[in-house]
Structure 1
């Protein structure tokens, strides 16, 4: 299991200096791995090899769709893995939030595959509103005007839900910060993750709003904001982290160089 392998071979902590409190793979995480594996299985194009060139091209387009969806699901899995390693929580709130996350992931698989399949098809010279099935039949993708908007509402709802659940999970860890004994750097990282997940959810909200107001194209283009927004956030949070690390280093150095306090004698 990938999760067990990472735990066994990782240092107790990560590159950000966050101490790992979850050092064993729990049954909750094992269930999560099974659900993620099932979700990835649903992305597979076809178990039957193509027999015609048209079927081959459908499989090729399906491969790129599978790759994009797999990358997104893997990033969700990696975030969940890191959360459990950092905080090691298994209380009731964690169980329910994780269960809702897994439910959304399984529900989100087909809308995710449909949207990425549509995008990849357009990039590879798709025939407008037409799609070619594996048997060569050409069918319309959308049969009504508002179906594209509905598609983006479903996709946006799933996108928002995933990151809102992560925001709630990080918020739950923040509420338990004293019990977890988070140090100042770990508290900074936790707050930073809350901001980041809420920004992702905000992009989903904006996409839904634009889809309702203008149409599916404008709603879909909204996700192009993810790269610049997350890049800017990374620069800002990285600068804040470096300032915090420098301040903590100075305080540690000052504490080491401070002269020892003379013992006080009791008054006569």
Structure 2
């Protein structure tokens, strides 16, 4: 499939078309992460349990989407640069470690948020009260947002570090000026992706909104669309300029 460049940047020379053992091992780890999300749910023994498990389809789907977003960032990096030296192996090992310990807090948070919004929109106060007394005591909500925020931030920082290493390897990789910009853009993109969960964790750590801290830490993730859309537009203009400069050289 890597030989098919449909949908890829025709101006970038992809150096990772041959599958490496690092990628193969990583793909198995991502598959295991999704499996763990599935196995974290018990097998229903009656219709009531089945109905509860069916309600968790949306949180499960969101978890899978997020894991696949991380996988796709990982896939693009190796497709672009094909690096498999010691530094990249260390980065990749740490990334896999984070992914595997991240899946349980990820699913737990999404299930809590889904049930919270379900209770809000249906006016089910009993569901909300039970949620913050049995499932997640309100005193622990800040800790959950800290765990989730730091985990997500570290994941994207790790991928950003991989792009930074690719920039350092520009000489051996024979990256031209345009390809160097793409490497830099990948690093900045992942730093931005890391900054928002880190901000959410900071809100929870310092309890910035008092009794509304849990909500404030969650709302912080709503910054993703405007931040990434604005950066995407700015980045597209810079990418076009970098490409024009390269073609004139």
- Fold conserved (TM > 0.5)? yes
Match of 2:240 in 1: 242
Cα distance in structure 2, aligned partners of 1:162 and 1:85? 19
Match of 1:112 in 2: 106
Aligned residues: 237
Asked whether the 8 Å contact 1:129–1:141 carries over to 2, the reply is no
**Can you give the 5+ residue segments of structure 1 that lack an aligned partner in the other structure?**
1-5, 132-137, 253-268
TM-score by length of 1: 0.82
Cα distance in structure 2, aligned partners of 1:64 and 1:17? 38
CA deviations on 1:211-265 (whole Å, 9 max, x unpaired) are 123222211111110111001000000111122333444x26xxxxxxxxxxxxx
TM-score by length of 2: 0.88
Match of 2:147 in 1: 154
User: Is 1:225–2:223 an aligned residue pair?
Assistant: yes
1:95 to 83, 89, 106: 89
Asked whether the 8 Å contact 1:129–1:142 carries over to 2, the reply is no
Match of 1:264 in 2: none
Match of 2:71 in 1: 77
Asked whether the 8 Å contact 1:61–1:117 carries over to 2, the reply is no
Please give the root-mean-square deviation of Cα atoms over the aligned residues, in Å.
2.1
Match of 1:262 in 2: none
Q: In terms of Rg, which structure is larger? A: 1
SS in 1 for 2:13: coil
2:62 to 47, 57, 68: 68
Cα distance in structure 2, aligned partners of 1:16 and 1:50? 53
C-alpha displacement at 1:37, in angstroms?
A: 0.9
Match of 1:128 in 2: 128
Quick one: higher RCO (CA 8 Å, sep 6+), 1 or 2? Answer: 2
Which protein has the bigger helix share?
A: 2
Cα distance in structure 2, aligned partners of 1:123 and 1:216? 13
Match of 1:164 in 2: 157
1:19 to 4, 13, 17: 13
Give the 4+ runs in structure 1 shifted more than 6 A. none
